[in-house]
Amino acid sequence: MCGIAGIFAHRDAAPVVERAELRRIRDHMTARGPDGTGEWYAADGRLGLAHRRLAIIDLSERGAQPMASADGGLVVTFNGEIYNYRALRRELEARGQIFQSDSDTEVLLHLYAERGEAMVGALRGMFAFALWDARRRALLLARDPYGIKPLYYASDGRTLRFASQVKALRIGGAISSESDPAGEVGFYLFGSVPEPYTFYRDIRTLPAGCTLWVDEVGPGEPKPYCSIAREFGRAALEPARLDAEALQARVREALLDSVRHHVVADVPVGVFLSAGVDSGALLGLMRDAGQTEIQTVTLAFAEFRGQPDDEAPLAERVAARYDARHVTRVVEEAEFRADLPLILDAMDQPSIDGINTWFVSKAAREQGLKVAMSGLGGDELFGGYPSFRDIPRWVRWLGPPARVPGLGRALRRLGCSLLAPYAPRLTPKALSLLEYGGDYPGAYLLRRGLFMPWELPELLGAERAREGLRQLRPLRHIGAALEPDPGTPFGRVAALEAALYLRNQLLRDADWAGMAHSLEIRTPLVDAEVLRRLAPALAMTRGSCGKILLGRSPSQPLPAEIVDRPKTGFQTPVRDWLERLSAPGAAAGGREHWARRWARRVGREAWGTDG
């Protein structure tokens, strides 16, 4: 895991690369790669590639980056892990390719030499890379199918800059600080900034599952090569109707295969262990994959002791069940207060989440780990969220009345003016139910939304909110995650959750919070090959049976007290901590949901919005 950066002066009128700027960008990402630095410049000075290294595979200097091909015609700077690199290497060597290192990075160079841009379809892993093709005089940017690893770029029409962090690009000094209304609106709607937007007008995210060419003309349009919605759509056309035994066997086979790929490393691989099904199943599967001496880490909070939210006792029993070396790390409110400025500084884009990942990553690093497994993605793949039940139900019930033009908006306005003063529990979402609940994009906004669109003028000002909504077009943005149609209610919700909440919030938070502690977080349940293998079997799933399948996937299944436990997630008592901080702008009497108050604080203190 690493930090990558580059500057490409693609127009003749552009000045050559300023090396000091590139180094500022690179070295702002020191925590992403404390084990080494590297830079490479084209002979004409018009391209510079840089790298910060967190050594995980091939710890020798032969794995250093940027890495060039033997003839110097290809150069790559790469962030991530290619989990099937050994199989790809064997295929390449069988066709006469000669390797100089044991790294997965070198596989990218040889694979591109054979297949060109199409090589991304063969990669299994989490990745963001930039590969220079001297013959074409063009730069290829690419990002993994789920968007586990970030890649940001900015173009002024003459020079393109890219990096693993938004704040690193900004620290270079050549990019405007002007904020993007679409990014601001997206943050307050969803609690995270939806790609391809960022909080800055001139910086964009390369969308997940896309490649992008930059040549002498400049950057082209991102080209998708993988779609979560398309995989579920294919599954709906050809569902795998298996009996219970065959279905369980397929789930186990796919997940065990993913875990075997994800444990490949030249350093120990630990586990973030909660009291939930996802992380417990991963731990059991790691044992099945032959891993021993596994280090597990669980967070605990004094405020939760003896309450259902306390993860520690059950997590400790799961660790003992699979014979793991376990540590329970207690976080106190004083540590939260001390770390809060560091959290906001490390937060590359504003988010209402990530605090839990910050502290568990900190705890893992204290145990000497550089790599840890996370159960992220289990709820999106196996239908573990209430959204899998609620959204189809809302669409079914509210669809007919919602189609009456203007009815939902009229009722919401009437409710705001007449009912709200007498019904403090009538939330903005309740007032918006008929306005948005009649189709999948609107129902998803209701389910995952933080603020409703009509609340934004009060947060951002009327003009700023109007411009941001015009650019983002939230319902169309959500609807794009359903193109092509995933075909079933389960597939539609799974595609929405994976392409929006998982991608823009959970995975991005895991990246910045983990990398702030020089920790690589791996997610075996977020894997395009697992999706392809299981979507035909899961597309017709109803209820919560998917999580039962996950819990039973290890050869020694998780106990019923874990599988049957109501979902709580990896919680922190941040709500109470925030209230005691007495943040300005909090709703009187504390009636406003803590996540909305936290969003106001993050937006105001870290990014200077009016929220």
Which residues are identified as catalytic?
2
- For the chain, the straight-line distance linking the first and the last C-alpha, in angstroms and rounded, comes to 35
For residues 35 and 53, the answer to whether their CB atoms sit within 8 Å is yes
DSSP annotation string for 397-457? HHHHHHTSTTHHHHHHHHIIIIIGGG-TT--HHHHTHHHHTTSHHHHHHHHH-SS-GGGHH
d(CA 124, CA 145): 9
Can you give the pLDDT at residue 573?
81
Q: What is the CATH number of domain 2-226?
A: 3.60.20.10
Can you give the pLDDT at residue 1?
66
d(CA 611, CA 458): 8
Buried b (16+ CB within 10 A) or exposed e, 392-425: bebbeebeeebeeeeebeebbeebeeeeeeeeee
For 101-150, write each residue's pLDDT tens digit: 999 999 999 999 999 999 999 999 999 999 999 999 999 999 999 999 99
Can you give the pLDDT at residue 415?
67
Q: Give helix 333-346 / helix 594-607 axis angle, nearest 10°.
A: 50
Can you give the pLDDT at residue 586?
44
- Longest CA–CA span in the chain (Å) reads 77
User: Which positions of the chain have pLDDT values less than 70?
Assistant: 1, 415-426, 542-544, 567-572, 582-591, 610-611
For 343-355, write each residue's pLDDT tens digit: 999 999 999 999 9
What pTM did the predictor assign?
0.95
> CA nearest 128: which of 155, 106, 105, 150?
150
| 229-384+489-572 belongs to CATH 3.40.50.620 | yes
Q: Please report, for the chain, the start and end positions of each structural domain, with discontinuous segments joined by +.
A: 2-226, 229-384+489-572, 387-487
DSSP annotation string for 377-396? THHHHHT-STHHHHHHHHHH
